[in-house]
């Protein structure tokens, strides 16, 4: 299915059908029930179920009883993610590419073309997966989650870095809720489990001087990646939730939960500001009150104690002479 693009919109037939199945537990639904739920003819119901089967959905059908959903595909099918998803702004439009350069680039193009706030792009694999500062993000097919969300927040460019912390907190919450693992945030935009990087966030914005046009929240989460799938050289030890926890992750459930967390935090951000999210970020952060070294590429690296983050998202580093510096970029490592 290389390069295929599958779209799902709020109110689409596939979403309505899948929601009916998810709402009824393991019961059979008649063609009549499904026809009423999706407001289409029984012939259309039958055709859509055949189409979903081709995408890997498993349906049992018994002539006198109807259909039962017996299995979801191991594929980030947008209607499967959207069915039963509780969000206000996010995912009314959900697009999955079997392959794309990077989901951030794909959604940025949609943003230029006027795509609405909350549009989500997912990919089964990326051939130009992007990390922070122009680095590469390893993106093998079929095992992980690569995705991007388009926002149009009514904020100035000065406030936009706050949204990175929002998306980091959403991923950490999702790991905590879908696994028994303990995520630790590595400033500014990575998440570690057992000291190994399992997720990275890459937010990008377009803005005029005094207002943001779009913010793209990009996330890569290593879910079921195995050791052989990592590139030989990585800047930081990397892992996956499968490798750290020993259990495979249901990618559809994980993605749905992440979008719900993002949606809730974004609603909170727009209505109540950044304060509570910053507190949660700090509580999840592995470097606060620890001695760290920050390397920002050009200048000699700085050492000090990480004492917090400010309202613009800068890391506050207390140097040995007592001065507190605000750092906006760099790679952090624990000292000693």
Does 147 interact with a second copy (rule: CB under 8 A)? no
Nearer to a second copy among residue 6 and residue 216 (C-beta):
216
Do 171 and 199 form a contact (C-beta atoms < 8 A)? Answer: yes
The minimum distance between CB 155 and a second copy, in angstroms, equals 9
Query: What residues have CB less than 8 Å from 91, skipping those under 6 apart?
Result: 81, 82, 85, 118, 120, 259, 263
Indicate left, alpha or beta for 232 from its phi (over 0: left) and psi (-120 to 50: alpha).
alpha
Does 313 interact with a second copy (rule: CB under 8 A)? yes
The minimum distance between CB 203 and a second copy, in angstroms, equals 5
| Sheet with 315-318: strands ordered across | 324-327, 315-318, 302-309, 291-295, 331-334
Do 198 and 179 form a contact (C-beta atoms < 8 A)? Answer: no
The minimum distance between CB 303 and a second copy, in angstroms, equals 19
Nearer to a second copy among residue 106 and residue 249 (C-beta):
106
Nearer to a second copy among residue 63 and residue 235 (C-beta):
235
The minimum distance between CB 21 and a second copy, in angstroms, equals 40
Positions 171 through 230 that interact with a second copy (CB under 8 A): 188-189, 202-211, 213
Query: DSSP string covering 224-245, please?
Result: S--GGGS-S--SS-B--HHHHH
Residue 331 backbone dihedrals phi, psi, to 5 degrees? -105, 125
Does 39 interact with a second copy (rule: CB under 8 A)? no
* 330 CA to centre of own chain: 23
Positions 118 through 137 that interact with a second copy (CB under 8 A): 132-133
* 200 CA to centre of own chain: 9
Find where tokens 């001695």 sit: 291
Count the site residues for a second copy by CB under 8 A: 25
Q: How far apart are CA 269 and CA 276, in angstroms?
A: 9
Does 302 interact with a second copy (rule: CB under 8 A)? no
The minimum distance between CB 151 and a second copy, in angstroms, equals 14
Nearer to a second copy among residue 45 and residue 215 (C-beta):
215
Does 164 interact with a second copy (rule: CB under 8 A)? yes
Does 312 interact with a second copy (rule: CB under 8 A)? yes
Nearer to a second copy among residue 26 and residue 299 (C-beta):
299
Do 175 and 183 form a contact (C-beta atoms < 8 A)? Answer: yes
The minimum distance between CB 156 and a second copy, in angstroms, equals 4
Interacting residues with a second copy (CB under 8 A): 132-133, 156-158, 160-161, 164, 188-189, 202-211, 213, 312-313, 328-329
């Amino acid at each position: 299915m290389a390069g295929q693009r599958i779209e799902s919109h709020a109110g689409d037939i596939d979403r309505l059908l899948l929601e009916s199945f998810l709402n009824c537990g393991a019961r059979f639904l008649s063609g009549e029930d499904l026809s009423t739920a999706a407001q289409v003819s029984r012939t259309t119901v039958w055709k859509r179920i055949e189409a979903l089967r081709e995408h890997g959905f498993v349906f049992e059908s018994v002539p006198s009883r109807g259909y039962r959903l017996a299995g979801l595909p191991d594929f980030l099918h947008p209607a499967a993610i959207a069915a039963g998803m509780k969000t206000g702004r996010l995912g009314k439009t959900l697009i999955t590419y079997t392959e794309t350069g990077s989901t951030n680039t794909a959604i940025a193009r949609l943003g230029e073309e006027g795509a609405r706030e909350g549009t989500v792009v997912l990919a089964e694999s990326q051939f130009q997966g992007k990390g922070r500062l122009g680095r590469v993000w390893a993106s093998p097919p079929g095992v992980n989650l690569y995705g991007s969300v388009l926002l149009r927040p009514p904020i100035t460019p000065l406030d936009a870095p706050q949204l990175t912390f929002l998306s980091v907190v959403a991923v950490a919450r999702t790991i905590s809720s879908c696994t028994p693992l303990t995520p630790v945030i590595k400033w500014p935009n990575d998440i570690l489990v057992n000291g190994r990087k399992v997720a990275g966030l890459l937010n990008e914005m377009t803005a005029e001087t005094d207002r943001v046009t779009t913010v793209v929240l990009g996330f890569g989460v290593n879910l079921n990646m195995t050791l052989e799938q990592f590139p030989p050289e990585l800047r930081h030890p990397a892992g996956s939730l499968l490798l750290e926890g020993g259990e495979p992750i249901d990618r559809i459930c994980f993605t749905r939960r992440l979008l719900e967390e993002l949606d809730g935090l974004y609603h909170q951000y727009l209505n109540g500001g950044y304060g509570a999210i910053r507190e949660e970020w700090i509580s999840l952060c592995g470097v606060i009150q620890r001695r760290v070294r920050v390397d920002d590429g050009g200048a000699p690296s700085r050492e000090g104690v990480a004492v917090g983050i400010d309202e613009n998202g800068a890391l506050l580093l207390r140097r040995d002479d007592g001065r507190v510096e605000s750092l906006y970029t760099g790679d952090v490592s624990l000292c000693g």
